[in-house]
Structure 1
Amino acid sequence: MVLIIDPQQAGLSGNMVIGAFIRLGADKETVKEIMEHYGSYFGEITVNIDNVVKSGISATFVNVKCSDHHAIAYHSLLETLDGIKHEKITSTILTFAKKVFQTLAIAEAHVHGVNIDKIHFHEVGAADAVADIMGASYAFHELGLADEKVYGLPPALGGGRIKSGHGNLSVPAPATLEILKNIPVIGGPVNYELTTPTGAALLVNMVDEFSEFYPLIISKTAVYGAGKFDLEFPNVLRMVSGTSPMPTDKISILETNLDDVTGEVLGHTVDRLLEEGALDVTIIPTIAKKNRPAHLLRVISKSSMNDILAETIIRETGTLGVRTIPYVHRNIVNREIIPIEVDFHGQPKTVRIKVAKIGEEIVNITVEYEDARKVSEELKIPLKDVIRFINQKMNF
């Protein structure tokens, strides 16, 4: 299963996330009971869950009414959470929820320029935040989404100004902006706060990969969680669940232009990068500054390998800089390597073929180059003839 969290329409808040999860199948009564149970340790709280219509879109609205007992320090909040017991909240769910609170606390600490130990939850409301985060964390894991691929689309932030304990602030709230750093976002389209700090913190902890557009999926279900305000457009968070016909992963691309490197050094650099763990390396002829012939060195890399591979490029080529394009979405066709026996005019040879599939449909079949080359050398037959002969013998 694949899940897309789509806050492009009207942003997201904690209760919108929970509403969408309930529409996906999370148990409404259990979610409500968990929210009130955990929230009651921090303030007076009542949760009501209803189906509503927002500008023609049917959605689930989770209405949280609460008042805090008092502001609470970040570490005191964590200690209180550790002391609360509930049969439905596993250690995995609690650990996830604490990561969301950590995201909020780090953002607040950065905004205020203080150590995380000095952070008190008052702007987001401790009882409200606890209820939203514990309810969303439970529903996320109850639905099994923690083990699935989750995509996030750019959230709408809203606009205008909001009241805070520090006076009027422009939207988005500073903590929201800090949490969504390096993530694509959309301003507007109204003068309301559409994405809250709690919603942003849930988003970044649930999403595996952010994308500007919908990835390739087969859509199964689209659901909506409702926001509080009645706007001139549907104030809803959309989630889409489905299946992916092709596996995907998240990669980075490293690039540099080289106009003073010999062919020998280029070839050696390719070998070194592959040895260090690059997924692929290409060299493209190009024209650089001052109309000089040059080469564009491009490396596909797992994001965790970026620093190692960038250093390898610099050391091997002497380039003064390496561009990094992070979090590139890549579709991967399922591949299966199958050994087959081919009779070359009375001389049987075993070769491997690579079968590429989208779902169950075969889209391409090729013989492994090394196997074909070995047959070519042993039988003294041109490589192109060996490949053509094998292709004619394959029955798929």
Structure 2
Amino acid sequence: MSTLFWDCQTGISGDMAVASLLDLGASEKAVRTALAPLAGEGFELRVGRVEKAGLDCCDFDVVLDEEHDGHDHDMAYLYDPEWKPGEGSTAAGDACGHDGARGHGHRSYAQVREVLASLDLAPRARSLAEKAFHLLAEAESKAHGVPVDEVHFHEVGAIDAIVDVVAAAVCLDSLGVEKVVVPCVVDGTGMVRCQHGVIPVPVPAVVNIAAATGLPLCVSARQGELVTPTGAAIAAAAMTSDALPERFTVKACGMGAGKRDYDPPSILRALLIEEVDVPAPGVPLAPAPGVSLAPGTSVPGDWIWKLECNIDDSTGEMLGAVLEDLMAAGARDAHFLPVFMKKNRPAYELAIICDDAHREALERLVFAETTTIGIRRQRMERSVMSVSWRDVETSFGTVRVKVCGRDGLLRAYPEYESVLEVARAAGTDFRTVYLAAATSA
């Protein structure tokens, strides 16, 4: 199942959404084919590459003719409090924000639905486009205080907004995306100029969409409108979750560039990800596909518990006994470290490595056999070598050897008790038998 993660740390707009998906591998041909019936609407599609903050990004540009172009990316018009008519853009935006709120492109919600109905879209793409425009219609309705059917879009009805929504829907369908994760859309702050005056950021339509859908909205200290209504509607319509998996792998990454001149620049990142199952505590990770392990062999990578406590009032005899008992009770490993505690008291830190199946029993043993009153525990993932056991022949006798391997590395470790037993039986020293077994292994 394909999962898309939209990383909206520097905002989202309609063109950024489409660009990020095209850069991810969505079909540009499918987008152009879907939009071909709108060829007479006074726009041209341009898909290219731009550099933003040294990063190579995709640029999706809906280039409008002079009749439709309101110069939405004119920063002086949007943010200069001294701007006056005739000093740049002649019209841009509606009362709810900008995304391509371009001059003369007014349409009613009913007319927008007619445009969508005229296009040959796959069922999933059509459903997403219709949902996004419905969210926009409801947001406009609330902002202007008029019924949904009476809403006349300035921004939303503009042809470039229709192109952005349809193109995004076609791209998602082209990629086969079934889940879309949007942890947060990050907007700016301050004020922005629209057709009806200067309004606060986040703009009303974005706020209304977030309120209606649960789209997570974050407000940064950056000045400017980073999240446009069309971008918010696309994200909200596509979003299936706001929570990323605990662990995942990245299959592909796409970056879409924004048009406005912000610092840092607006870049929308889209990642195709695949969730990695997190095993329950104590359950080893499965081996890689195609890898089989011999019976009794450990998996190279698993989960363990680390238990710790500080002890400053137990005798050496007690500590020696508890270490032996811990190993007999199922600890993977256990050791003491000398430490200094409060009031400069010399003490020992007891550390235990164990699996989930033995954790509770080992904790009970520590409480019963030491003077500690608290145990710290931490669940940890390990990278370990695979382990198998072999009997190897030496001139002194058969010795049990532990063989460890990972990524082409091999290690052989003769087992202590086995070496000692063979050495004593042969009447020789431990080191001689150990080296003979290691060489043979």
Q: TM-score, normalised by structure 1?
A: 0.58
Q: Determine which of 233, 239, 245 is the counterpart of 2:276.
A: 245
SS of the equivalent of 2:268 reads: strand
The question of whether the paired residues in 2 share the 8 Å contact of 1:39 and 1:128 is answered with no
1:115 aligned onto 2:147:
yes
| Alignment match, 2:392 | none
| Alignment match, 2:162 | 130
1:144 aligned onto 2:173:
no
Task: For 1:292-303, list aligned pairs within 5 A.
Answer: none
Task: For 1:1-396, list aligned pairs within 5 A.
Answer: 1-8=2-9, 10-35=10-35, 37=36, 39-40=38-39, 43-66=41-64, 67=68, 70-82=105-117, 84-86=118-120, 89-145=121-177, 147=178, 149-181=179-211, 182-211=214-243, 215-246=246-277
Post-superposition Cα deviations, 1:327-362, rounded to whole Å, max 9, x if no partner, equal xxxxx759xxxxxxxxxxxxxxxxxxxx88668779
Q: Return closer, same or farther for 1:359/1:170 CA change in 2, 3 Å cut-off.
A: farther
SS of the equivalent of 1:109 reads: helix
Post-superposition Cα deviations, 1:44-64, rounded to whole Å, max 9, x if no partner, equal 111111111101111101111
Q: Return closer, same or farther for 1:61/1:235 CA change in 2, 3 Å cut-off.
A: same
Between the aligned partners of 1:76 and 1:7, the Cα distance in structure 2 is 31
Instruction: Give unpaired runs (5+ residues) of structure 2.
Output: 69-101, 289-298, 304-356, 359-441
Between the aligned partners of 1:22 and 1:158, the Cα distance in structure 2 is 26
Between the aligned partners of 1:18 and 1:359, the Cα distance in structure 2 is 38
Between the aligned partners of 2:219 and 2:164, the Cα distance in structure 1 is 24
Q: How many residues align?
A: 256
Identity of aligned residues (%): 29
Q: Return closer, same or farther for 1:14/1:77 CA change in 2, 3 Å cut-off.
A: same
Query: Aligned partner of 2:5: which letter?
Result: I
Superposed displacement of residue 3, structure 1: 1.8
Q: Return closer, same or farther for 1:38/1:20 CA change in 2, 3 Å cut-off.
A: farther
SS of the equivalent of 2:60 reads: strand
Query: Aligned partner of 1:13: which letter?
Result: S
Instruction: Give unpaired runs (5+ residues) of structure 1.
Output: 247-331, 335-354, 365-386, 389-396
Superposed displacement of residue 39, structure 1: 4.6
Superposed displacement of residue 233, structure 1: 1.8
The question of whether the paired residues in 2 share the 8 Å contact of 1:104 and 1:201 is answered with yes
SS of the equivalent of 2:149 reads: helix
Query: Aligned partner of 2:260: which letter?
Result: F
Between the aligned partners of 2:151 and 2:246, the Cα distance in structure 1 is 38
The question of whether the paired residues in 2 share the 8 Å contact of 1:156 and 1:189 is answered with no
Q: Return closer, same or farther for 1:70/1:229 CA change in 2, 3 Å cut-off.
A: closer
Between the aligned partners of 1:163 and 1:358, the Cα distance in structure 2 is 56
The question of whether the paired residues in 1 share the 8 Å contact of 2:105 and 2:159 is answered with no
Between the aligned partners of 1:106 and 1:358, the Cα distance in structure 2 is 48
Superposed displacement of residue 239, structure 1: 1.2
Query: Aligned partner of 2:252: which letter?
Result: T
Between the aligned partners of 1:240 and 1:138, the Cα distance in structure 2 is 17
After superposing on structure 2, the runs of 4+ consecutive aligned residues of structure 1 that deviate more than 3 Å are 32-35, 38-41, 355-364
Between the aligned partners of 1:85 and 1:26, the Cα distance in structure 2 is 19
Post-superposition Cα deviations, 1:31-83, rounded to whole Å, max 9, x if no partner, equal 24534x35546x3111111111101111101111222764111012212321x
Q: Return closer, same or farther for 1:33/1:359 CA change in 2, 3 Å cut-off.
A: farther
Which has the greater radius of gyration?
2
Between the aligned partners of 1:164 and 1:234, the Cα distance in structure 2 is 22
Superposed displacement of residue 24, structure 1: 1.0
